[in-house]
Amino acid sequence: MKKLAVILFSCLPLVAFAAGGGHNEYVVKAPVNLQDKVSLQNGAKLFVNYCLGCHTLQYQRYSRMAEDLEMPEELVMENLNFVSDKFGDQMHNAMDQDDAKKWFGNAPPDLTMVTRYRSSDWVYSYLINFYEDESRPFGYNNHVFPSVGMPHVMAGLEEELGEDEFKQAMGDLTNFLTYTAEPIRPQRERLGVYVLVFLGILLIPAYLLKKEYWKDVH
């Protein structure tokens, strides 16, 4: 039994390394707040305007996004849905996968779950760590994902906003992608508070009942 415990504990660092992709000095904490509707709405706008042309959110529907982010259907259909005429459709794009492979080397991945398998911190750090590199096909490289095939589509926005506002915008985009990975999470977190309060209250009569049962036991 002791040998098994030693083996399990010795494997923990390897599991952590594999899950996080190893240490990277450029990975910083993402400003995620799923209760901030304004941030989530801005993140949705940024994703549609800058990302949806190449990347899909195939597990996310416009109708669900509108409900969760408190956006009117008319607003979503007029300003965020440029591909479909149906409010309940998934967030796809019109890019042909074969063309994408020719242009970028690989088809751009779906990003619905990207913060689950990469982490929100990684995604945020990736978005803010592009830098000019003339040796790369699109003129940019990335500190978090070296030699990435994706162009810096936010370059114009970064120049327009400046460093601080750009980081805030990328935080909003990361916040939105964190939401798409688990839309139920805000409700789950709110419900968790009530559950903990209930268990705390239940602990009092449970403790008193335990004392009553055991008072005559010596």
DSSP β-ladder status, 90-91 and 57-61 = antiparallel
pLDDT score, position 106: 79
Measured distance CA(23)–CA(17) in Å, rounded: 8
Q: What is the pTM of this model?
A: 0.78
Residues of the chain with pLDDT under 70: 1-23, 218
> Is residue 153 within 8 Å of residue 207, measured between CB atoms?
no
pLDDT score, position 23: 62
Taking the alpha carbons at both ends of the chain, their separation in whole angstroms is 34
Measured distance CA(71)–CA(65) in Å, rounded: 8
Measured distance CA(141)–CA(10) in Å, rounded: 36
Residue 120 tokens read as 């929100």
Task: Give the CA distances from residue 48 to residues 67, 140, 169, 177, 211, in Å, rounded to whole numbers and listed in that order.
Answer: 17, 22, 13, 12, 60
Q: Which domains does the chain carry?
A: 25-183 (1.10.760.10)
> Is residue 178 within 8 Å of residue 35, measured between CB atoms?
no
pLDDT score, position 198: 93
- Sign of torsion, CA 129 132 135 136? positive
> Is residue 82 within 8 Å of residue 116, measured between CB atoms?
no
